[in-house]
Structure 1
Amino acid sequence: MNYLKQTDAFTRGLEYVRLIQELALEPGMVDVINNLRDRISICTWIGDNIDTINAQLKIYLEACHDCFHPQDRPHIQIFAVPIAQSFGIDGLCNIFTTPITILVDVGRIAPIDWLSIVAHEYAHAHLGDSGHNQQFVRILSHLCLGLGLEPPEWEPGMEATLRNWPYCNSTIDPLEFWIGQGY
């Protein structure tokens, strides 16, 4: 009976990963299947826990929405997923999906900073652009003020700094979260 429960969770997790691969900018960004050492553990943990994690991310998404008038809120969906480490990112906004998709690797950042990464990616979704320019700062500052986070102030040449604004504390081993050791 316990084996069947694990198999069901694994199957749910595997189906979730495959669905999210279709929403990423490219399927290889979500590369759980090729992780031969941990793929069973990761998919099983996702199958058992992803609804809870995504519910928390949706609360943060709604908090971002609340910073704007209803008519100014873009249609966005948000999901947690392990992003392949080779991409070196904690989250992404795919403006080419309908609705716009935000993916967050919650294993790469401390839970206390999940709101910060959601706000950053929300600013991209709101603009419909992946850049870190003056318009991005305007939207992100508005969000930060509404959410109680430190807002950036625009200065020419600060695009690199904005890639990590608001600052998020990185975890030591992102996969620990996804196999259930960091949650």
Structure 2
Amino acid sequence: MSQLVLLNKPFGVLSQFTGGKEGADDTLAHLVDVPDVYPAGRLDKDSEGLLLLTDDGWLQSRIAEPRHKMTKTYLAQVEGEADDAALEKLSRGVILKDGKTRPARVKRIDPPPVWDRDPPVRYRESVPDSWIALEITEGRNRQVRRMTAAVGLPTLRLIRWRVGDWSVDGIAPGTYRMIDV
């Protein structure tokens, strides 16, 4: 039986066990004490939320490889008002430097009841922000951030909420839940 670790990766932590700053708490080694598990996919240092780790190479490939089209849901706080035109562009797919993205499911949402971020997102009274939920089946480098920027909505905060059937719901930042698969 394989192990799957559902980690709520905090902002500022690398999606790897080594290579952080000397003496800093910026790698997975400071959060996960489960032997022989490795990330199935990545979240950049500035992103938060669900990071899956497993000891099963086949499962790791199934989760991480874009050809399997596993759905990933992100909650994004963006700078500006997410209007219908921007959401329509995202839903059709946007052109990035590395080609057009697959169509995404996207909708405006109320600010979600999520944990506070440390450090907090910079608040500017003169610049509105809004939240969207974005579901994609790809996993390009910094894809969601690049997609929202391409439609004029730079990402301020990005939380991966779900990968396939697994969710970060109920898992506090910096903690994890283990399941057998």
TM-score (normalizing by structure 2): 0.27
Instruction: Point out which structure has higher relative CO (alpha carbons under 8 A, 6+ apart).
Output: 2
Higher share of residues assigned strand: 2
Higher share of residues assigned helix: 1
